[in-house]
Structure 1
Amino acid sequence: MEKEIFVTEPGFCPCCGAILPDLKLSGGVTCYTCAKPYGPEVFGRMEMKYTIHFNSPSASSVNTKKKSAEPDGPTVDRKCPVCNNDKMSYATLQLRSADEGQTVFYTCTKCKYKETENS
């Protein structure tokens, strides 16, 4: 058996010092450099716990906002196809490659209907 020659931080191979890949579903990992297998203890912890918190439906509902609330961003004169409101707020993002146009996300200020447009 090879002797561990490095004093390493968790996530590094104790034999060769290489960065270890992520844990597999089987709970183990094999070093890409020296091919030595390790268990989850090489990452410095034997047990992982996760807690996922979800918002309550009433807190995340868009219908709970007051109709007189401020829009989520700048507004533009654009007719909502659902409620025929004349104002929609918008936000832009560059989702496609740099030589393509930006994507505009519109949200109705009244009914919160959302639509996108590739410009």
Structure 2
Amino acid sequence: MDAFNNCPGFCPSCGSILPELQVKGNVTCHNCKEEFQADVYSGEKSEFTIHFNTYDAKKLLNRTKQESESEADGPVVERKCPKCNHDKMSYATLQLRSADEGQTVFFTCLKCKFKESENS
């Protein structure tokens, strides 16, 4: 009896993850070297698409000052820009240091696009 028979994408004999299903033919387990028909995936083959933000230089150059100020790279906070003294900046956070230390906050001025960071 195959212990892993009900797990699509896994070898029914040894339980290892099976390699990606090719368009035609059978699939061979890298671990136990057994060959299986494509139905071992039980229709579970899925495709992933990653969509990245697009960058349109013409649109960036042709936008008005008001449009430029209203477009933020993230949430907006009341924080004075050290370069132009504008009172609103957007921010983003990342955990760059070890987990027991605070996160790093990156601020971007909505007016002049000056960037600064702060370790919290």
Please tell me the residue identity of whatever aligns with 2:33. Answer: K
Q: Aligned match of 2:41 in 40, 43, 46?
A: 43
Assess, with a 3 A threshold, how the Cα gap between structure 1 residues 100 and 55 changes in structure 2: closer, same or farther. closer
Query: Kindly, what percent of the aligned residue pairs are identical?
Result: 42
Q: Could you tell me how far apart the structure 2 residues matched to 1:114 and 1:29 are?
A: 50
**In the alignment, what sits opposite 2:11?**
13
Report which of the two has the higher share of helix: 2
Corresponding residue number in structure 2 for 1:89: 90
> Who is 1:76 aligned against?
79
Q: What amino acid sits opposite 1:15 in the alignment?
A: S
Structure 1 CA distance, aligned partners of 2:96 and 2:11? Answer: 38
Contact 1:105-1:116 within 8 A present in 2 as well: yes
Where 2:118 maps in the other structure, the secondary structure is strand
Report the TM-score when normalising by structure 1: 0.53
The gaps in structure 1 that reach 5 residues or longer are none
| Aligned-CA RMSD value | 3.9
Aligned length: 104
Distance 1:57 1:94 in 2: 26
Report if the CA contact (8 A) 1:73-1:91 is conserved. Answer: no
2:118 is aligned to 117
Q: Counterpart amino acid of 2:115?
A: K
Matched, 1:23 2:19: yes
Read off the aligned partner of 1:97 and give its amino acid letter.
Answer: S
> Hey, what's the Cα distance between the residues in 2 that align with 1:13 and 1:49?
20
Give distance in 2, aligned partners of 1:44 and 1:112. 51
